[in-house]
């Protein structure tokens, strides 16, 4: 356990790389080579990997006895997978299907392409933004209850780690807000082929 605690960041990065390799393997096996069973096996390995990530957080807490930035990163990763994972996989799935059809020189059905444009794209972006808002508010509410507001105007919370996480996440959320709502204000249009 001590070795795991000493190498926790490397193990987390490795687990995330394994997850993305499993996602890529899933789509390659499924669409490029048509091996459905193999793709489901690789997807199962990717999901088991998420349990390993949770175990890393639990081990870190047992070793340190306190909540750390590492554990907060793990909670964020797991929340993302739980909340956005299915939608993300659906988007990648639609994209991969259209790419394989394009490579094979076959026509791309409208249902594979419609999600990227106009009202459908704007609606999808707003849903993602609302999910982000709810998670951001819940985590900041948890920080508020756990640590309280800082008396210093330079900090949000009385815990340095929570304060840094909230500030960086606030910047990410602001960028996400601008990008997500830009699809509502300026809907993405199809390119007209000549």
Question: Which residues are CB-neighbours of 162 under 8 A, at least 6 positions away?
Answer: 72, 143, 146, 147, 156
Phi, psi of 72 (to 5 degrees): -65, -40
What is the predicted pLDDT for the residue at 177?
92
Q: Which residues pair with 149 in a beta bridge?
A: 157
Phi, psi of 157 (to 5 degrees): -125, 160
What is the predicted pLDDT for the residue at 152?
84
What is the predicted pLDDT for the residue at 133?
92
Q: Which residues pair with 157 in a beta bridge?
A: 149
What is the predicted pLDDT for the residue at 116?
66
Whole-model pTM?
Answer: 0.58
Residues of the chain with pLDDT under 50: 194
What is the predicted pLDDT for the residue at 115?
60
**115, two tokens:** 């999600």
pLDDT tens per residue across span 143-190:
888 888 888 888 888 888 788 888 888 999 999 999 999 988 888 776
């Amino acid at each position: 356990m001590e070795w795991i605690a000493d190498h926790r960041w490397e193990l987390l990065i490795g687990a995330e790389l394994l997850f993305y390799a499993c996602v890529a393997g899933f789509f390659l096996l499924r669409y490029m080579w048509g091996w459905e069973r193999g793709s489901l096996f690789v997807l199962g390995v990717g999901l088991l990997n998420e349990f390993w990530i949770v175990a890393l957080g639990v081990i870190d807490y047992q070793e340190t006895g306190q909540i750390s930035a590492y554990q907060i990163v793990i909670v964020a990763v797991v929340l993302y997978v739980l909340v956005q994972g299915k939608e993300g996989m659906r988007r990648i799935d639609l994209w991969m299907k259209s790419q394989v059809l394009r490579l094979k020189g076959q026509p791309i059905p409208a249902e594979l392409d419609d999600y990227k444009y106009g009202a459908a794209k704007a609606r999808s972006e707003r849903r993602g933004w609302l999910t982000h808002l709810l998670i951001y508010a819940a985590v900041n509410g948890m920080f508020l209850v756990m640590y309280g507001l800082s008396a210093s105007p330079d900090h949000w919370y009385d815990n340095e780690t929570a304060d840094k996480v909230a500030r960086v996440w606030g910047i990410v959320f602001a960028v996400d807000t601008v990008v997500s709502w830009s699809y509502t204000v300026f809907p993405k249009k199809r390119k007209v082929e000549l």
